[in-house]
Amino acid sequence: MTTTLITGANKGIGRETARRLVEAGQDVWLGARDSAAGQAAAEALGARFVQLDVTDDASVAAAVQTIRAAGTGLDVLINNAGVGGAVRSVPETTVDDLAAVFDTNVFGIVRVTRAFLPLLEASENPVIVNVSSGLGSLTRTNDPERAEGRFTALDYPSSKAAVTMLTSQYARALPGFRVNAADPGYTATDLNGNSGTQTVTEGTDAIVALAQIGADGPTNTFTDRHGVVPW
């Protein structure tokens, strides 16, 4: 059985991904910063719960020990945890604004991935899925005909552009892994005040597909539910 860990999974995209992968027969660890909310979500979905704050080294290290002690191993890591950042104009955005977003969206991926590499390396088919965004695509954010091209901010888009680069670099450095980025699209979640035009099920299509690829599957790709997303 494939064992999967999803960060930031007590609600939204993460929770729906957990639900679908449990339904698909995977053994899912639902990671969440809030223990009460995470435990409740895991029990409702038939998943396992692990307390995991991607911004905290001690929390990440403890999560590794919890999963190792359970003896489940780890085959798939889905780096989903993310924050939207402050709503400020570009000229008003500060270094502290960027630091707060990068700590979760970018540094969190590095912190979690590095910590779980030993468990993933023991898998016959190690997979990493990084949840990025079309707002991290330079091509799409420079296209005025697309919604991404009409949104201007420093923190969130730049953090997601960094996520796509992390994905590419990990894919090249870990040739035995399948490492890919997924764009959920404009999905109704708390991150956007539920203003998204897609359901959470639609928003998880690419993530769920990438989480189930085999050893001969793609690596170093960026996709959404419709296909390839330009870097």
DSSP collapsed to 3 states, the chain:
CCEEEECCCCCHHHHHHHHHHHHCCCEEEEEECCHHHHHHHHHHHCCEEEECCCCCHHHHHHHHHHHHHHCCCCCEEEECCCCCCCCCCCCCCCHHHHHHHHHHHCHHHHHHHHHHHHHHHCCCCCEEEEECCHHHCHHHHCCCCCHHHHCCCCHHHHHHHHHHHHHHHHHHHCCCCEEEEECCCCECCHHHCCCCCECHHHHCHHHHHHCCCCCCCCCCCEEECCEECCC
Tokens 């190792």 locate to 68
- Of the residues 11, 160, 170, 186, only one is catalytic, namely 160
Tokens 């489940």 locate to 72
Is 160 catalytic? The answer is: yes
Q: Is 152 exposed, middle or buried (0-12, 13-18, 19+ CB in 10 A)?
A: exposed
- Of the residues 11, 156, 170, 186, only one is catalytic, namely 156
Is 186 catalytic? The answer is: no
CA-closest candidate to residue 178, choices 118, 120, 105: 120
Catalytic positions are 156, 160
